């Protein structure tokens, strides 16, 4: 009788240990999502700031400046529900303004333009990477949260279901063609 109770206690302890380990893993994944989202937000803000600064610098033609400024301003001011759409529109505006190499070369030839073009190129390249890291963390957390043991034992607690950040983050071809110096 006592050996049966000991085996039951050992089994319950092992199950509890496993559930605790799974809850810890899920918590680490949620922390990773938070860190990746903060990095993504920083990269999106940097891209919008550089685009807005470039739009107001006077090196672009007036129509391109207006398109770029409005898209960058909308991306910086967007509420969370509209953020993906606003960031996609900024990507489209960047592609429209910097679709051809002569526009990029005109920016580079202006005083301070080389630095501005380099900053924009770096910002545009970092956004897809930050988004990929965030979405990979979301995918891992979602996969773990789909397991029955997580749902049955409510190991996720009250944490909201993680959502991926879906946006158009394709780089302008003229910026992507020339390596940053």
What pLDDT does 8 receive?
A: 94
pLDDT at 137: 97
Q: List, for residues 17-70, the tens digit of each pLDDT value.
A: 999 999 999 999 999 999 999 999 999 999 999 999 999 988 888 999 999 999
pLDDT of residue 59: 85
Return the exposure string of 114-146: e unless at least 16 CB atoms fall within 10 Å of the residue's CB, then b: eebbebbbebbbbbeebbebbbebbebbeebbe
pLDDT in tens, 76-134: 999 999 999 999 999 999 999 998 888 888 888 888 888 988 999 999 999 999 999 99
- 99, two tokens: 């679709």
- Rounded Cα distance between 83 and 131, Å, is 13
Query: In this predicted structure, what is the pLDDT of residue 177?
Result: 57
Q: What angle do CA 28, 161, 76 make, to 5 degrees?
A: 90
Single pTM value for the model:
0.89
Q: What share of the chain is helix, strand, coil (3-state, %, to 5)?
A: 80, 0, 20
For residues 40-51, b (16+ Cβ closer than 10 Å) or e, as one string? beebbebbbebb
CA nearest 129: which of 51, 45, 46, 43? 43
Other CB atoms within 10 Å distance of the CB of residue 16: 10
Confidence at residue 30, expressed as pLDDT on a 0 to 100 scale: 95
Q: In this structure, how many other beta carbons lie within 10 angstroms of the beta carbon of residue 67? A: 19
């Amino acid at each position: 009788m006592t050996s049966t109770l000991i085996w039951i206690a050992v089994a319950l302890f092992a199950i509890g240990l496993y559930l605790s380990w799974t809850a810890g893993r899920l918590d680490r994944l949620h922390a990773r999502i938070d860190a990746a989202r903060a990095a993504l937000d920083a990269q999106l803000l940097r891209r919008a700031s550089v685009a807005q600064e470039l739009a107001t610098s006077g090196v672009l033609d007036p129509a391109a400046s207006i398109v770029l400024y409005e898209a960058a301003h909308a991306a910086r001011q967007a509420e969370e529900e509209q953020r993906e759409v606003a960031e996609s529109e900024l990507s489209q505006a960047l592609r429209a303004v910097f679709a051809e190499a002569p526009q990029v070369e005109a920016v580079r030839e202006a005083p301070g333009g080389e630095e501005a073009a380099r900053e924009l190129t770096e910002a545009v390249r970092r956004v897809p990477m930050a988004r990929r890291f965030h979405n990979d963390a979301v995918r891992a957390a979602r996969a773990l949260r789909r397991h029955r043991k997580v749902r049955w034992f409510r190991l996720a607690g009250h944490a909201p279901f993680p959502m991926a950040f879906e946006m158009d983050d394709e780089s302008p071809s003229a910026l992507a063609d020339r390596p940053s110096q």
